[in-house]
């Protein structure tokens, strides 16, 4: 049977089919979205609740716990973490990968509704959820500045004209406004004056609240005219509030301005943001999990000119950071590497065949196979990303292999004197089964990748399917178009002398006379490879240089906002002085992205790599040395990565959690772990999010005395909240937004504990008594933030890797600490985020490779109807694996997931060489009745040229990946290095070990058959 015959004899039909494939691929290419990586994010929803003035303990018990109890009942919830800080509660809900985000959203909304009855009645705003991963970096950052307008007015523009419109764009998960300058009327009370009038803060709050109203008032509907009733019930300006009469004394009105300063200010004065060294309003735009970054950013950029046109001329909008710049550059670089790979493999064909027609045929076949893949990628809803383009680049070597095998076999028949058409028919028939075997075996290698679990499996599914589709299309082209073109374009040429073939002939003869030695080499290769597997450093994903650094600054727990603000500015000044830095944004204060006052956020955008000539790690180390000059604050930095698996913000790259039912256990063992980890040479920049050293003012009131005076705990809490909680006591409604009236004491009274001496509370008889009359005031330590995981108290230790160490080394060292410490059973410790995913992937790596080998063995056994020949083919794997591991060590690369994929691909590549040898040898044994040694000897010599060509083609196809230096090369490099290293050693050894093992198994088979024959005869 010759599947190629009809296509060879019908060139017009064949060419038109290929044109159709080409046009479909080109059309699909224009429609394919572009992204950094396949969209495989966990469905994550963040729920944030704000209650100004509430302590972390109050937020945990009053807000976080009731919500967590409801969220914990949701089906499909994978993990729940929460952080409760001063005035803020943040709950992150991570669902199973197979949970649709929209379904998860419905579950979250239902849970919030169910919990609403347990939340405090005076909560200013209900919990708000966003479909966003808190650990995911913004896809775009905008800065709004003005030299003339006050920042509260600038924020008003940002909130009403920018944030709302941008949030409506498909794929936008959250627009976070940093800067804390939302407009408000602030009422700063002098409690001494108030007490002199016999009034308390509670009296003032009730008066102001009742003075400002905005409610329905009805209408008149006469016989012919209708009227709507309106009134001046709402107060919208600070001047209006100053005139409020709070009491009458001596028949004279006491107005609010007599006992308080009433000013136009910001809703939260304890927040600030900067763009470079200018205070600004910063908009950080985050995408929804699974949304395409480039599509979302393009939509935002299309909308921006319209939004800017609505602003006053003196408000400047700057795009500070745009993640798509590096993504586009990375994808473009990957496409360039793919084109280089195509050119290199075509050159290899010319060097071996020395025939212009032989160059033309693969020059058509290879791009056609790659372009045809785009059509299937579009139908499968894939994108053009680093992994799919990497698959196409690697596929260049596979695709050209099929073309080479077909062209070389037909060329050999033409060189033997046959006519091109006859040579094409005979050569295609002879090699057709081999090509199908190569295709099926290579697809079999991809099958285990399709069943990889967790995010890693989802991530590489597009890679495996894209590569498999390309190989299938390549086989179709090689069995149809390639032989048809060979029949019409190839002609007889004198066979060029091949000195290397003579050398191989002599070497092979010597090897076949010393088969025992080569079997020893094979066994030694297997043992050394096993040793390398256990000793090579193991990592997760290569560290990318995306040109963006995420920084978290941390000062002592008791630092004030004013001092924190000053030190943050000092850090920013030093960072901006670095020659590699393009710009920065900085933020301090408590909001949904930063939970404590003693920490701040810094995003550093570096200049393009061509301008800075330094990798991102070098820049981080230099900045780290410089910022140490700022006393009393530490800056933790990590490079932003395209792959985000974490669901919580940490100071450094990798995370390790400690969880227990009791908070004291968490604090104790977290500190023990922290101290032990400080001595590990594999770790640096170790940080803990356990903030348990915050200063607290503890007010203990005499309950008996308070009861005698007619004072309740609620009354005391209300007075303290009114004075020091930035309490939102009334709301001003406008057509565009809502603004709050904030009640507090004078700013100078909010700085020290002695301000408590100025507070008075009216007794049941109406007489004011000082708060100090029935209270004792002391200082104690308490948490700045309380973290919980799955409703239990937790803490997270984070760390970076020291130079020369891999993630596997670090986790092994931490687990050794875990075994050495006498940790009770109720305390649970485990890696989190990317470290946890790495640990799971590492546990499955051996099974993944083993399953690939088993699947390939089964497929080959079915194809050859043999138990033995698949083993001969698989004997090529140890040398390929060893070569890959040696190459990784030589180039100082870890055995990452990317490198592991390269090793799995090697299984398919090196098998092709053995298949070509054994396939031909079996044919000689069956048809020419040759002995096994003569058959394999002739097969090795005849297939030497195509084996050498395909190996070099695969190596050159991987060469741009291994040595490219463009954007995103760190992600692609391990794959190229592993393939090249594996092919070099495999080529050197398997050309000799494969025939020896083939003969060894043949002798074993003959011995078994002889024994069977003797048994039957007996």
Residue with tokens 């699974």, as numbered in its chain: 290
Which band of pLDDT confidence, cut at 50, 70 and 90, is reported for residue 583?
A: very high
Nearest to 246 by CA among 283, 195, 286: 195
In this structure, what token pair is assigned to residue 557?
């727990």
Q: What is the pLDDT of residues 786-833, one digit of tens each?
A: 999 999 999 999 999 988 888 988 999 999 999 999 999 899 999 998
Q: Which residues share a beta bridge with 319?
A: 142
Indicate the CATH number for domain 497-535+866-1017: 1.20.1640.10
Which band of pLDDT confidence, cut at 50, 70 and 90, is reported for residue 364?
A: confident
Is 354-493's fold the same as 497-535+866-1017's?
yes
Q: What is the pLDDT of residue 837?
A: 85
Q: What is the pLDDT of residue 1013?
A: 64
Q: Which residues share a beta bridge with 317?
A: 144
pLDDT, average across residues 623-632: 92
Q: Which residues share a beta bridge with 226?
A: 221
Indicate the CATH number for domain 354-493: 1.20.1640.10
Task: Classify domain 548-693+786-833 at the CATH superfamily level.
Answer: Multidrug efflux transporter AcrB pore domain (3.30.70.1430)
Q: Which residues share a beta bridge with 469?
A: none
Does the predicted model carry a pTM greater than 0.95? Answer: no
Residue with tokens 């015959």, as numbered in its chain: 5
For 786, residues 6+ apart whose C-beta sits below 8 A from its C-beta are: 56, 57, 59, 60, 64, 83, 84, 85, 663, 793
Q: How many percent of the chain have pLDDT more than 70? A: 98
Report the C-alpha gap between 903 and 678 in whole angstroms: 35
Q: What is the pLDDT of residues 644-677, one digit of tens each?
A: 777 788 888 899 999 999 988 999 999 999 999 9
Nearest to 209 by CA among 124, 87, 292, 283: 124
For 524, residues 6+ apart whose C-beta sits below 8 A from its C-beta are: none
Q: What is the pLDDT of residues 480-494, one digit of tens each?
A: 988 898 888 877 655
Q: What is the pLDDT of residues 844-869, one digit of tens each?
A: 777 777 887 888 888 888 877 888 88
Q: What is the pLDDT of residue 633?
A: 93
Report the C-alpha gap between 281 and 182 in whole angstroms: 10
Q: What is the pLDDT of residues 255-274, one digit of tens each?
A: 999 999 999 988 888 899 99
Determine contact, residues 687/670, Cβ cutoff 8 Å.
Answer: no
pLDDT, average across residues 424-434: 82
Is the backbone of residue 771 left (phi > 0), alpha (psi -120 to 50) or beta? alpha
Q: CA–CA distance from 571 to each of 295, 567, 577, 716, 1016 (Å)?
A: 35, 6, 10, 41, 88
Nearest to 874 by CA among 1001, 964, 733: 1001
Helix (H) / strand (E) element for 434: namely helix 420-450
Task: Tell me the domain boundaries of the chain.
Answer: 184-267+694-782, 354-493, 497-535+866-1017, 548-693+786-833
Report the C-alpha gap between 572 and 585 in whole angstroms: 8
Q: Which residues share a beta bridge with 551?
A: 602, 637
Q: What is the pLDDT of residue 814?
A: 93
pLDDT at 385 over 60: yes
Which band of pLDDT confidence, cut at 50, 70 and 90, is reported for residue 940?
A: confident
Q: What is the pLDDT of residue 828?
A: 93
Determine contact, residues 71/119, Cβ cutoff 8 Å.
Answer: no
Q: What is the pLDDT of residue 376?
A: 92
Which band of pLDDT confidence, cut at 50, 70 and 90, is reported for residue 1017?
A: low
As a whole number of angstroms, the longest Cα–Cα distance in the chain is 132
Q: How many percent of the chain have pLDDT more than 90? A: 34
Q: What is the pLDDT of residues 153-207, one digit of tens each?
A: 898 889 888 988 999 999 898 898 988 778 899 999 999 898 888 888 999 999 9
Please give the sequence-ordered ranges of beta strands (E in DSSP) within 443-580, or none if there are none.
548-554
In this structure, what token pair is assigned to residue 162?
């920018």
> What average pLDDT is seen over the chain?
87
Q: What is the pLDDT of residue 353?
A: 65
Please give the sequence-ordered ranges of beta strands (E in DSSP) within 543-653, or none if there are none.
548-554, 581-589, 599-606, 634-639
pLDDT at 242 over 80: yes
Determine contact, residues 571/557, Cβ cutoff 8 Å.
Answer: no
CA dihedral 665, 670, 672, 676 (to 10 degrees): 160
Helix (H) / strand (E) element for 183: namely strand 183-189
Topology of domain 184-267+694-782, per CATH? 3.30.2090
3 state DSSP class of 800: strand
Report the C-alpha gap between 338 and 968 in whole angstroms: 14
Q: How many CA atoms, within 13 angstroms, populate the side-chain half-sphere of residue 218?
A: 2
Report the C-alpha gap between 830 and 658 in whole angstroms: 7
Q: What is the pLDDT of residue 5?
A: 87
pLDDT at 337 over 90: no
């Amino acid at each position: 049977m010759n599947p190629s015959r009809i296509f060879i004899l019908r060139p017009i039909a064949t060419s038109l089919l290929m044109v159709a494939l080409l046009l479909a691929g080109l059309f699909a290419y224009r429609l394919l979205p572009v992204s950094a990586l396949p969209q495989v994010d966990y469905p994550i929803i963040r729920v944030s609740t704000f209650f100004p003035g509430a302590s972390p303990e109050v937020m945990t018990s009053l807000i976080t716990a009731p919500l967590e109890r409801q969220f914990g009942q949701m089906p499909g919830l994978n993990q729940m973490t929460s952080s409760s800080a001063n005035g803020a509660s943040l709950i992150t809900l991570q669902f199973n990968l197979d949970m649709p985000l929209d379904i998860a959203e419905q579950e979250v909304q239902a849970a919030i509704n169910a919990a609403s009855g347990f939340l405090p009645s005076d909560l200013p705003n209900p919990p708000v959820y966003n479909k966003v991963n808190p650990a995911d970096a913004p896809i775009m950052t905008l800065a709004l500045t003005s030299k003339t307008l006050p920042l509260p007015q600038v924020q008003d523009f940002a909130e009403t004209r920018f944030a709302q419109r941008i949030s409506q764009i498909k794929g936008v998960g959250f627009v976070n406004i940093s800067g804390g300058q939302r407009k408000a009327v602030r009422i700063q009370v002098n409690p001494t004056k108030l007490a002199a009038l016999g009034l308390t803060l509670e009296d003032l709050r009730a008066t102001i609240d009742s003075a400002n109203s905005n409610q329905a008032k009805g209408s008149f509907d006469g016989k012919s005219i209708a009227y709507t009733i309106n009134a001046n019930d709402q107060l919208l300006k600070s001047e209006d509030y100053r005139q409020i009469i709070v009491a009458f004394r001596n028949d004279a009105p006491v107005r609010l301005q007599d006992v308080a300063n009433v000013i136009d200010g910001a809703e939260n004065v304890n927040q600030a943001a900067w763009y470079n060294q200018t205070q600004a309003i910063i908009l950080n735009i985050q995408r929804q999990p699974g949304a395409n970054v480039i599509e979302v950013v393009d939509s935002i950029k299309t909308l921006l000119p319209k939004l800017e046109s609505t602003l006053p001329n003196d408000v400047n909008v700057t795009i500070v950071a745009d993640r798509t710049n590096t993504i586009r550059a990375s994808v473009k670089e990957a496409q360039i590497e793919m084109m280089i790979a195509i050119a290199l493999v075509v050159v290899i064909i010319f060097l071996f065949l020395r025939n212009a027609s032989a160059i033309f045929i693969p020059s058509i076949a290879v791009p056609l196979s790659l372009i045809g893949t785009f059509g299937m990628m579009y139908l499968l809803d894939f994108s053009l990303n680093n992994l799919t383009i990497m698959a196409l680049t690697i596929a260049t070597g596979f695709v050209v292999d099929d073309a080479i095998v077909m062209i070389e076999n037909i060329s050999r028949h033409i060189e033997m004197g046959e006519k091109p058409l006859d040579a094409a028919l005979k050569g295609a028939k002879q090699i057709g089964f081999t090509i199908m075997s190569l295709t099926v075996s290579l697809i079999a290698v991809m099958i285990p990748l399709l069943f990889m679990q967790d995010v890693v499996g989802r991530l590489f599914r597009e890679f495996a399917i894209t590569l498999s589709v390309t190989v299938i299309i390549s086989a179709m082209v090689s069995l149809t178009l390639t032989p048809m073109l060979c029949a019409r374009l190839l002609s007889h040429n004198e066979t060029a002398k091949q000195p290397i073939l003579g050398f191989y002939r002599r070497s092979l003869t010597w090897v076949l006379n010393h088969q025992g030695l080569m079997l020893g080499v094979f066994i030694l290769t297997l043992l050394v490879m096993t040793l390398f597997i256990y000793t090579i450093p193991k990592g997760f994903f290569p560290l990318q240089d995306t040109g963006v650094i995420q920084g978290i600054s941390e000062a002592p727990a008791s630092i004030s906002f004013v001092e924190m603000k000053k030190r943050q500015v000092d850090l920013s000044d030093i960072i901006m002085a670095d020659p590699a830095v393009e710009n920065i944004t900085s933020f301090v204060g408590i909001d949904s992205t930063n939970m404590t006052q003693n920490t701040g956020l810094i995003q550093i955008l570096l200049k393009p790599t061509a301008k800075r000539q330094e990798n991102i790690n070098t820049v981080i180390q230099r900045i780290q040395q410089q910022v140490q000059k700022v006393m009393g604050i530490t800056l933790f930095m990590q490079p932003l990565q395209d792959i985000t698996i974490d669901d919580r913000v940490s100071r450094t790259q990798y995370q390790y959690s400690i969880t227990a039912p009791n908070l004291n256990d968490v604090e104790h063992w977290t500190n023990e772990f922290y101290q032990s980890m400080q001595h590990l040479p594999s770790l640096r920049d170790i940080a803990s999010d356990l903030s348990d050293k915050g200063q607290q003012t503890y007010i203990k009131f005499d309950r008996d005395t308070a009861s005698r005076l007619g004072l309740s705990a609620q009354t005391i809490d209300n007075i303290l909240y009114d004075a020091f909680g930035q309490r939102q006591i009334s709301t001003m409604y406008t057509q565009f937004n809502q603004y709050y009236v904030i009640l507090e004491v004078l700013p100078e009274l909010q700085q020290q504990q002695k301000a408590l001496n100025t507070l008075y509370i009216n007794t049941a008889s109406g007489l004011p008594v000082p708060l100090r009359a029935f209270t004792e005031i002391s200082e104690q330590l308490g948490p700045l933030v309380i973290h919980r995981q799955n409703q239990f108290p937790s803490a997270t230790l984070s760390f970076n890797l020291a130079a020369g160490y891999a993630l596997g080394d670090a986790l092994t060292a931490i687990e050794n600490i875990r075994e050495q410490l006498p940790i009770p059973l109720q305390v649970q410790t485990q890696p989190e985020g990317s470290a946890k995913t790495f640990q799971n992937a590492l546990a499955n790596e051996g099974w993944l490779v083993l399953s690939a080998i088993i699947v390939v063995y089964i497929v080959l056994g079915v194809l050859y109807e043999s138990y033995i020949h698949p083993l001969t083919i698989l004997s090529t794997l140890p040398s390929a694996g060893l070569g890959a591991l040696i190459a990784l060590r030589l180039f100082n690369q870890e055995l990452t997931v990317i490198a592991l994929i390269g090793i799995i691909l090697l299984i398919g590549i090196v098998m092709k060489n053995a298949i070509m040898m054994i396939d031909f040898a079996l044919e000689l044994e069956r048809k020419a009745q040759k002995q096994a040694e003569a058959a394999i000897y002739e097969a090795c010599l005849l297939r030497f040229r195509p084996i050498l060509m395909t190996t070099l083609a695969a190596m050159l196809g991987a060469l741009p990946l291994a040595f490219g230096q463009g954007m995103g090369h760190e992600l692609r490099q391990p794959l190229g290095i592993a393939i090249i290293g594996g092919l070099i050693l495999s080529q050197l050894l398997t050309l000799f070990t494969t025939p020896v093992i083939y003969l060894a198994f043949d002798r074993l088979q003959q011995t078994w058959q002889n024994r069977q024959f003797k048994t039957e005869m007996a």
